[in-house]
Amino acid sequence: MTKKVLHVDDHELTRAGCALVLASQDRYELVHALGKGRDVLPWLKDHDVDVILLDIILEDMSGLSLLAELAAIPDTRVIILTGQNDARQFRFALDMGASGIVQKSDPGDEILAALNAIDGETPYLSPSIASQLQRLGAPPVQLSPRQAAILHYMANGETNKEIGAKLGIAMPTVSFHIAEMRRKLGVSHNRKIVQAAKEIGLI
Protein backbone atom coordinates (compact mmCIF):
# COMPACT_ATOMS: atom_id res chain seq x y z
CA MET A 1 0.00 0.00 0.00
CA THR A 2 1.25 3.46 -0.91
CA LYS A 3 2.30 5.57 2.08
CA LYS A 4 1.30 9.22 2.06
CA VAL A 5 4.09 11.70 2.85
CA LEU A 6 3.93 15.32 4.02
CA HIS A 7 7.10 17.40 3.73
CA VAL A 8 7.62 20.37 6.08
CA ASP A 9 10.56 22.63 5.22
CA ASP A 10 10.92 26.37 4.72
CA HIS A 11 13.41 26.03 1.84
CA GLU A 12 11.76 25.74 -1.56
CA LEU A 13 14.84 24.10 -3.10
CA THR A 14 14.79 21.33 -0.48
CA ARG A 15 11.08 20.73 -1.03
CA ALA A 16 11.65 20.50 -4.79
CA GLY A 17 14.56 18.10 -4.35
CA CYS A 18 12.59 15.83 -2.05
CA ALA A 19 9.71 15.82 -4.52
CA LEU A 20 12.09 14.61 -7.24
CA VAL A 21 13.40 11.81 -5.02
CA LEU A 22 9.89 10.57 -4.27
CA ALA A 23 8.41 11.11 -7.74
CA SER A 24 9.67 7.80 -9.13
CA GLN A 25 8.62 5.73 -6.13
CA ASP A 26 5.48 3.61 -6.16
CA ARG A 27 5.56 2.98 -2.40
CA TYR A 28 5.35 6.66 -1.44
CA GLU A 29 3.21 9.58 -2.50
CA LEU A 30 4.22 13.13 -1.61
CA VAL A 31 0.73 14.48 -1.01
CA HIS A 32 1.69 17.97 0.13
CA ALA A 33 4.54 20.26 1.18
CA LEU A 34 4.39 23.09 3.68
CA GLY A 35 6.86 25.88 4.34
CA LYS A 36 5.60 26.96 7.76
CA GLY A 37 5.34 24.88 10.90
CA ARG A 38 2.23 26.65 12.14
CA ASP A 39 0.30 25.38 9.09
CA VAL A 40 0.96 21.70 9.80
CA LEU A 41 -1.54 20.88 12.56
CA PRO A 42 -4.46 22.73 10.90
CA TRP A 43 -3.70 20.92 7.63
CA LEU A 44 -3.58 17.55 9.38
CA LYS A 45 -7.07 18.08 10.78
CA ASP A 46 -8.44 17.54 7.27
CA HIS A 47 -5.85 15.17 5.81
CA ASP A 48 -4.31 11.83 6.75
CA VAL A 49 -0.65 11.05 6.17
CA ASP A 50 1.57 8.15 7.16
CA VAL A 51 4.93 9.94 7.33
CA ILE A 52 6.06 13.52 7.87
CA LEU A 53 9.48 14.70 6.71
CA LEU A 54 10.36 17.53 9.09
CA ASP A 55 13.21 20.00 9.36
CA ILE A 56 14.49 20.87 12.84
CA ILE A 57 14.77 24.57 12.04
CA LEU A 58 11.75 26.28 10.47
CA GLU A 59 11.25 29.95 9.67
CA ASP A 60 8.37 30.44 12.07
CA MET A 61 8.98 27.90 14.84
CA SER A 62 11.19 25.15 16.22
CA GLY A 63 10.82 21.84 14.43
CA LEU A 64 11.35 20.14 17.78
CA SER A 65 8.30 21.94 19.17
CA LEU A 66 6.28 20.71 16.23
CA LEU A 67 7.67 17.20 16.70
CA ALA A 68 6.46 17.26 20.31
CA GLU A 69 2.93 18.09 19.18
CA LEU A 70 2.96 15.59 16.32
CA ALA A 71 3.77 12.82 18.78
CA ALA A 72 0.20 13.10 20.05
CA ILE A 73 -1.22 12.11 16.64
CA PRO A 74 -1.69 8.31 16.44
CA ASP A 75 -0.04 6.33 13.64
CA THR A 76 1.91 9.27 12.26
CA ARG A 77 5.65 8.80 11.93
CA VAL A 78 8.14 11.66 11.71
CA ILE A 79 11.49 11.54 9.93
CA ILE A 80 13.82 14.46 10.59
CA LEU A 81 15.38 15.81 7.38
CA THR A 82 17.76 18.57 8.40
CA GLY A 83 20.77 20.62 7.47
CA GLN A 84 21.85 20.98 11.08
CA ASN A 85 24.92 19.35 12.67
CA ASP A 86 23.91 19.38 16.32
CA ALA A 87 24.10 15.84 17.69
CA ARG A 88 22.32 16.85 20.89
CA GLN A 89 19.34 18.02 18.86
CA PHE A 90 19.39 14.73 16.97
CA ARG A 91 19.42 12.73 20.18
CA PHE A 92 16.64 14.84 21.65
CA ALA A 93 14.55 14.33 18.51
CA LEU A 94 14.98 10.58 18.96
CA ASP A 95 13.97 10.93 22.62
CA MET A 96 10.77 12.64 21.44
CA GLY A 97 9.94 9.75 19.15
CA ALA A 98 11.41 10.59 15.74
CA SER A 99 11.42 7.50 13.52
CA GLY A 100 14.57 8.48 11.66
CA ILE A 101 17.05 11.26 10.97
CA VAL A 102 18.69 12.12 7.64
CA GLN A 103 20.84 15.11 6.74
CA LYS A 104 20.10 17.22 3.67
CA SER A 105 23.68 16.68 2.54
CA ASP A 106 23.14 12.89 2.45
CA PRO A 107 22.39 11.14 -0.87
CA GLY A 108 18.72 11.02 -1.83
CA ASP A 109 18.73 7.27 -1.30
CA GLU A 110 19.02 7.91 2.44
CA ILE A 111 15.55 9.48 2.45
CA LEU A 112 14.19 6.33 0.83
CA ALA A 113 16.11 4.14 3.27
CA ALA A 114 14.55 6.02 6.20
CA LEU A 115 11.09 5.68 4.68
CA ASN A 116 11.62 1.97 4.03
CA ALA A 117 12.56 1.48 7.68
CA ILE A 118 9.58 3.42 9.02
CA ASP A 119 7.74 0.35 10.29
CA GLY A 120 10.76 -1.03 12.13
CA GLU A 121 11.30 -0.83 15.85
CA THR A 122 14.63 1.00 15.56
CA PRO A 123 14.84 4.58 14.26
CA TYR A 124 16.77 4.89 11.00
CA LEU A 125 19.95 6.96 11.12
CA SER A 126 21.90 7.88 8.02
CA PRO A 127 25.64 7.09 8.35
CA SER A 128 26.51 10.76 8.92
CA ILE A 129 23.95 11.06 11.71
CA ALA A 130 24.94 7.74 13.27
CA SER A 131 28.58 8.84 13.34
CA GLN A 132 27.75 12.10 15.13
CA LEU A 133 25.57 10.35 17.69
CA GLN A 134 28.23 7.73 18.32
CA ARG A 135 30.74 10.46 19.14
CA LEU A 136 28.22 12.11 21.45
CA GLY A 137 27.54 8.88 23.33
CA ALA A 138 24.44 7.47 24.98
CA PRO A 139 22.24 9.80 27.05
CA PRO A 140 23.02 9.60 30.77
CA VAL A 141 19.29 9.56 31.53
CA GLN A 142 16.64 7.94 29.37
CA LEU A 143 13.39 9.88 29.03
CA SER A 144 10.18 8.66 27.46
CA PRO A 145 9.01 10.52 24.32
CA ARG A 146 6.33 12.28 26.37
CA GLN A 147 8.84 13.32 29.04
CA ALA A 148 11.25 14.61 26.39
CA ALA A 149 8.45 16.69 24.86
CA ILE A 150 7.54 18.14 28.25
CA LEU A 151 11.21 18.91 28.98
CA HIS A 152 11.47 20.73 25.66
CA TYR A 153 8.52 22.96 26.55
CA MET A 154 9.81 23.50 30.09
CA ALA A 155 13.11 24.69 28.64
CA ASN A 156 11.12 27.18 26.54
CA GLY A 157 9.45 28.55 29.68
CA GLU A 158 6.01 27.01 29.13
CA THR A 159 3.76 26.47 32.15
CA ASN A 160 2.24 23.10 33.03
CA LYS A 161 -1.13 24.35 31.77
CA GLU A 162 0.36 25.46 28.46
CA ILE A 163 2.23 22.17 28.07
CA GLY A 164 -0.92 20.17 28.71
CA ALA A 165 -2.82 22.17 26.12
CA LYS A 166 -0.15 21.77 23.46
CA LEU A 167 0.25 18.04 24.03
CA GLY A 168 -3.44 17.36 24.54
CA ILE A 169 -2.97 15.80 27.97
CA ALA A 170 -4.48 16.51 31.39
CA MET A 171 -2.66 18.55 34.02
CA PRO A 172 -2.26 15.54 36.39
CA THR A 173 -0.55 13.68 33.54
CA VAL A 174 1.86 16.55 33.01
CA SER A 175 2.58 16.62 36.76
CA PHE A 176 3.16 12.86 36.80
CA HIS A 177 5.75 13.05 34.01
CA ILE A 178 7.48 16.01 35.66
CA ALA A 179 7.71 14.06 38.92
CA GLU A 180 9.27 11.17 37.00
CA MET A 181 11.83 13.54 35.48
CA ARG A 182 12.69 14.88 38.93
CA ARG A 183 13.32 11.31 40.05
CA LYS A 184 15.42 10.40 37.02
CA LEU A 185 17.48 13.59 37.21
CA GLY A 186 17.86 13.43 40.98
CA VAL A 187 16.53 16.91 41.70
CA SER A 188 14.13 18.03 44.39
CA HIS A 189 12.26 20.84 42.62
CA ASN A 190 10.70 21.39 39.21
CA ARG A 191 12.76 24.55 38.70
CA LYS A 192 15.94 22.44 38.75
CA ILE A 193 14.87 20.03 36.00
CA VAL A 194 15.94 22.12 33.02
CA GLN A 195 19.25 23.11 34.62
CA ALA A 196 20.05 19.49 35.46
CA ALA A 197 19.11 18.35 31.95
CA LYS A 198 21.43 20.95 30.42
CA GLU A 199 24.29 20.03 32.74
CA ILE A 200 24.25 16.40 31.61
CA GLY A 201 23.73 17.25 27.93
CA LEU A 202 20.15 16.12 27.48
CA ILE A 203 19.22 19.46 25.88
Q: What is the pLDDT of residues 191-203, one digit of tens each?
A: 999 999 999 888 8
Report all structural domains of the chain as residue ranges with CATH numbers, in order of start.
3-136 (3.40.50.2300), 145-199 (1.10.10.10)
Q: Rounded to two decimals, what is the model's pTM?
A: 0.88
Burial zone of 48 (CB within 10 Å; 0-12 exposed, 13-18 middle, 19+ buried):
exposed
Mean pLDDT to the nearest integer, 4-23 = 94
Mean pLDDT to the nearest integer, 151-164 = 93
Q: What is the pLDDT of residues 55-101, one digit of tens each?
A: 999 999 989 989 988 877 778 899 999 998 899 999 999 999 999 99
